[in-house]
Amino acid sequence: MFSLLASLVGNAAEPAISFDRDIAPILERRCLECHGAASTTANDPPETKGGLSLVTRAAALRGGESGPALVPGKPEESLLLEYVLLDKEGRALMPKKRAPLKTEEVAALRQWIAAGAAWPAEIVLRDRRFEGAKWWSLEPLAKPTLPPAAGTTHPIDAFIRAKLAALKIAPSPEADRRTLVRRLYFDLVGLPPTPAEIETFLADRDPTAYEKLVDRLLASSHYGERWARHWLDVVHFGETHGYDKDKPRPHAWPYRDYVIRAFNEDKPYGRFVAEQLAGDVLYPDTRDGLEALGFISAGPWDFIGHAEVPESKIDGKVARHIDRDDMSTNAMQTFVALTVQCAQCHDHKFDPITQEDYYSLQAVFAAVDRTDKKYDLDPAVARRRTELLAEQTRIAAERTKLDEAIVAGAGKELAKLDTEIVKLQKPPVGQPQKADAYGYHSAIAPRQEASAEHPAKWVQVDLGKRVPIGSIVLHPCRDSFAGIGDGFGFPVRYRVEISDDAAFRSGVVVAADYTNRDVPRPGVQAQAAAASGQPARYVRVTAVKLAPRQNDFNFALAELEVFDQQGLNVAAGKTVTALDSIEAPARWRRANLVDGYYPGLGAGDPVELAALTKRRSEVFDRVTTAEQKRLFAALDERRAGATHELAKLPTQHTCYVGAVHTGTGNFVGTGAGGGKPRPIFVLARGNVSNPGKEVRPGAVSSIGALPARFEIPASAGEGERRAALARWIVDSKNPLTWRTIVNRVWQYHFGRGLVDSPNDFGRNGREPTHPELLDWLAASFRDGSTSGEKASLAAQSLKSLHRLIVTSATYRQASTAAQSTAQGMVDAEEVDIDNRYLWRANRRRVDAEALRDSLLAVSGLLDRTMYGPSFKDFVVEKPEHSPHYEYRLHDPTDPKSHRRSIYRFIVRSQPQPFMTTFDCADPSMQVDKRNESLSPLQALTLLNNGLTVVGAERFAAKLTASETELSARIEQGFYEALGRKPSDEEQAALVAYAGRHGLAATCRVLFNLNEFFFID
């Protein structure tokens, strides 16, 4: 008692209070939940309760809305102490909604304040409520022992029935075979069974008929289409960028096809994860290794913030910060169900995830942008292409070395000419920037390099007669479009030719050839080619490698000048032709190419520039020895051979992925710096203008068995960061990975996961209803399990996991309530009305895609073509600026739009009305669990939507083709739509309706029956 009283009055005989030992733990565990955000200045108050931060002494002294929290030496004037003191009823103002501080904790605070509230300036507190506290999802994964359960050897049923027995709830009986076959078809392939398939199953007396049906459906190619849709929901896959302009991504679809193939091939889950994060590093030269990287680029992307704002600007930094946040969040929520994004501005309020953890994850993606990437489908072709490109690089290096040797041995003559050429190419000092200058603009191309499918772009001038040509000068454009600016559209590789043949089939003289190497973008500097007085009538410029524009490519020139030997521009005002052209006066048209207006006017004389260039070439040729010329010839022969071999390779494909981007304008990515990752810093309150400590790439520190930071050699490429994260996620010691995926699969079969927050396994999420079952499934999925022929589970095989689930008695239950009269059993609906413990099956509405696909399948419209570019069920208006995706203008009879819904072009900004009405996923968000709403609008949509009307008409035509009586047609249509024959009462009502309104109207009625879009 004496000790306690002494501490309350701050007796000097008591041992000195240590801030680090005695005070900091109290504040960190009891106060920082609400007062844990840091503030930067007195004018920048913390985003905390009451404006009060307790992370530093300065912040506590400054206080919040009610005044200073600390008054050193004066406990009675310190609000911190006042708010934690108990009143007469034993309550305190703080902490709110938490137990009050213990008596000894209050006493320690009083003594500390009375002694002067010493608090070393270097100590910054952080929320430690959860340090050392166990949380189920972060605990190591071990395989529990199966509980004893009467009447079953199936592991799932053992766990479920043991729980039900403890609750005194009887399970429901097995559903009838007709219900089961329909349930299985929708779950595994997303399509209704045909009457013939139903009858075949019903007639099969084999005791393993059900298991054989499961195996047939899992082997169907439609299985991958069904389950890929679930995965694409989670990763928020879309085919437009989103944000303001919402421009399309024409090459996003290969990722969707990759996911379908991966499910159909039953790709081991660990590899499936690793490919999506670092397939280019872990599985180089493979198709899947590249296409899988569409996972990183799946989410929204701010076109304006990247393409129109440079990374050096604050808005550009913010855009790229948000982009990395999306990549980090997508990776962690998809694979390990952690809400790391909550630690963007401060340590996570509820889970053991620090700000440094979060920014270490951002560092993993520090060199990555969303970009189009070319690749080969055949690994052998990919390897050969890599070899040939490496050969070209070696040849270029050898040529450069030989050039330098010749220049070094030529004395001052070449150096003087080079100086004069550079001087002429530069505009006068202080010349003002001119306005945009346009000219010729080719049609937009989807591919950068010419091929048999996409011929090289060309533009030419007819001089009207044969003219001795002294030089040809090309002037690049200046266009502010997409921030590209100077040099817009100037080809990366090109050649300049002259001829008397307008078709350039004969008598062709090459004035300049840059087709074997990329040329730097010239800005608006004129590019000259010498023709040495060669007479010709036509001058042609051919672009064999186009300039990148945004997600496409083009060829543009502001002006083409052709000077005769007297220095006159003989091309002015002449006729211009081209392979193709965008004619959009006054900005773009062929005639602009020879109108005399171009950027850079006032720069050096083009004729003099051409003469100097020609002179340099002559000098270079004179000083080159015979041996050096032989070496040049050998290099040219090698280069020609490599170029020829490259030309023979198949045309590459393109995929929109997360990769190093080499761009132009404002969106340059990290490619310009050789793919070097950007430095990533901890940002105070997430503010890009307030960087703190630089971080290394890593993951979260809450998985004790795995390192939180990755040790990556400085010489390693950026992809090794992503590979390290992939290895961290799929490590067998990471319990979250395996718990997360089995929970997702369980949810899609039962409508609710064992954890009913599939993207959040933290304290803000739900705890598992059957934790032992979840861990048994996760460990068995990770490692494999042999619990009997019907209940075995192959390691990391999703098909095996499906088979295990759907063969359980739990899955095969009827959806009706159990009617148990056994003594001691309770009414299940009174104990568990939500069916969280699975005493029956859940009746569920089919999702939007399965509903649309069912309508197409039953009506006979469904096109089962797999893979390839997405179909568009809209018409695009204003495609050049901000596209408007107009679904109302689409023709529902268009057969190209009758493919399965997985192949629908997914727009972010404008949802498809039919699909949205039936709760399809919003592609701008990670959708771990869809809504299942019921509304009058759904009935109206299913009755009146254009696709429904077309489908009903086609369904009626199909039934009429059978040449049977109306009654038989009605019976057949009913069976095809609902999976059973109608009752006599139903048949009579439908026949009467068809007699009054026609068979097509009756088919619309069938599509609107509850049984058509509910699964029992």
The tens digit of pLDDT for each residue in 653-664 reads 999 999 998 776
The encoded tokens of residue 49 equal 């309760």
Asked whether 547 and 488 are in contact (CB, 8 A), the reply is yes
Q: What is the DSSP letter of 138?
A: G
Rounded mean pLDDT, 346-353: 88
Confidence band for 424, pLDDT divided at 50, 70 and 90: low
Is the bond preceding residue 586 a cis peptide, omega within 30 degrees? yes
The encoded tokens of residue 726 equal 């992939």
Q: List the one residue out of 199, 195, 224, 220 whose CA is nearest residue 209.
A: 199
Q: What is the pLDDT of residue 432?
A: 36
Rounded mean pLDDT, 500-504: 88
H helical segments located in 204-313:
209-219, 221-234, 253-264, 269-282, 287-291, 303
pLDDT for residue 173 is more than 70: yes
The encoded tokens of residue 176 equal 């009838």
The encoded tokens of residue 1002 equal 């009756």
pLDDT for residue 83 is more than 50: yes
pLDDT for residue 323 is more than 80: yes
Q: What is the pLDDT of residue 4?
A: 38
* Helix 221-234, helix 209-219: angle, nearest 10: 70
Measure the CA angle with vertex 983, ends 980 and 985; round to 5°.
Answer: 150
Distance CA 597, CA 439 (A): 8
Any idea which of 548-557, 607-616, 840-849 has the lowest mean pLDDT?
A: 607-616
- Mean pLDDT of the chain, nearest integer: 88
Which residues does 587 contact at the CB level (< 8 Å), separation at least 6?
438, 441
Rounded mean pLDDT, 787-812: 89
Q: How far is CA 805 from the centre of its chain?
A: 30
pLDDT for residue 43 is more than 80: no
Rounded mean pLDDT, 885-905: 96
Confidence band for 433, pLDDT divided at 50, 70 and 90: very low
Q: What is the pLDDT of residue 153?
A: 85
Which residues does 637 contact at the CB level (< 8 Å), separation at least 6?
none
pLDDT for residue 38 is more than 70: no
Q: What is the pLDDT of residue 40?
A: 38
Q: Which amino acid is at 47?
A: E
Q: What is the pLDDT of residue 429?
A: 42
Distance CA 680, CA 344 (A): 13
Confidence band for 874, pLDDT divided at 50, 70 and 90: very high
Any idea which of 244-258, 521-535, 708-722, 967-981 has the lowest mean pLDDT?
A: 521-535
DSSP letter string over 50-112? Answer: GG---SSHHHHHH-BTTB-S--TT-GGG-HHHHHHS--TTS--SSSTTSPPPPHHHHHHHHHH
Rounded mean pLDDT, 120-137: 79
Distance CA 249, CA 454 (A): 20
Any idea which of 580-584, 686-690, 745-749 has the lowest mean pLDDT?
A: 580-584
Distances (CA, A) of 288 to 227, 276, 279: 18, 9, 7
Q: What is the pLDDT of residue 28?
A: 84
pLDDT for residue 132 is more than 80: no
Distance CA 314, CA 303 (A): 15
The tens digit of pLDDT for each residue in 209-229 reads 999 999 999 999 999 999 999
pLDDT exceeding 70 applies to what percent of the chain? 92
Distance CA 750, CA 745 (A): 9
pLDDT for residue 34 is more than 60: yes
Q: Which amino acid is at 737?
A: T
Rounded mean pLDDT, 601-614: 62
Burial class for 623, CB neighbours closer than 10 Å (0-12, 13-18, 19+): middle
Rounded mean pLDDT, 126-153: 83
pLDDT exceeding 90 applies to what percent of the chain? 59
The tens digit of pLDDT for each residue in 568-577 reads 889 988 999 9
Distances (CA, A) of 662 to 370, 517, 543, 667: 11, 16, 20, 8
Rounded mean pLDDT, 127-154: 84
**If you average pLDDT over each of 93-102, 334-343, 598-607, 611-620, which comes out highest?**
334-343
pLDDT for residue 439 is more than 50: yes
Is the bond preceding residue 140 a cis peptide, omega within 30 degrees? no
Q: What is the pLDDT of residue 972?
A: 96
Q: List the one residue out of 734, 779, 782, 777 whose CA is nearest residue 753.
A: 777
Q: What is the pLDDT of residue 538?
A: 95
The tens digit of pLDDT for each residue in 228-278 reads 999 999 999 999 999 988 999 999 999 999 999 999 999 999 999 999 999
Long-range contacts of 574-577 (CB under 8 A, 24+ apart): 574/461, 574/462, 574/463, 574/464, 575/461, 575/462, 575/464, 576/440, 576/459, 576/460, 576/461, 576/462, 577/459, 577/460, 577/462, 577/502
Confidence band for 5, pLDDT divided at 50, 70 and 90: very low
Rounded mean pLDDT, 138-143: 95
Distance CA 523, CA 512 (A): 19
Confidence band for 3, pLDDT divided at 50, 70 and 90: very low
Which residue's entry shows tokens 């000419």? 417
Asked whether 411 and 591 are in contact (CB, 8 A), the reply is no
Distance CA 878, CA 100 (A): 62
Distance CA 364, CA 697 (A): 5
Asked whether 272 and 289 are in contact (CB, 8 A), the reply is no
Q: List the one residue out of 968, 360, 236, 941 whose CA is nearest residue 679.
A: 360
**If you average pLDDT over each of 140-144, 150-154, 413-417, which comes out highest?**
140-144
**If you average pLDDT over each of 348-357, 447-456, 732-741, which comes out highest?**
732-741
Q: What is the pLDDT of residue 724?
A: 97
Higher pLDDT, 362 or 14: 362
Q: What is the pLDDT of residue 430?
A: 40
Asked whether 1015 and 186 are in contact (CB, 8 A), the reply is yes
Confidence band for 610, pLDDT divided at 50, 70 and 90: low
Distances (CA, A) of 294 to 256, 285, 654, 668, 872: 8, 16, 11, 20, 20
Which residues pair with residue 472 across a beta bridge? Answer: 529, 562
pLDDT for residue 931 is more than 80: yes
Distance CA 799, CA 796 (A): 9
Q: What is the pLDDT of residue 602?
A: 44
Rounded mean pLDDT, 427-441: 57
Burial 68-82 (b: 16+ CB within 10 A, else e): bbbbbeebeebbbbe
pLDDT for residue 428 is more than 60: no
pLDDT for residue 606 is more than 50: yes
pLDDT for residue 427 is more than 60: no
Higher pLDDT, 970 or 580: 970
* Helix 848-859, helix 946-960: angle, nearest 10: 30
The encoded tokens of residue 125 equal 């507190």
pLDDT for residue 805 is more than 70: yes
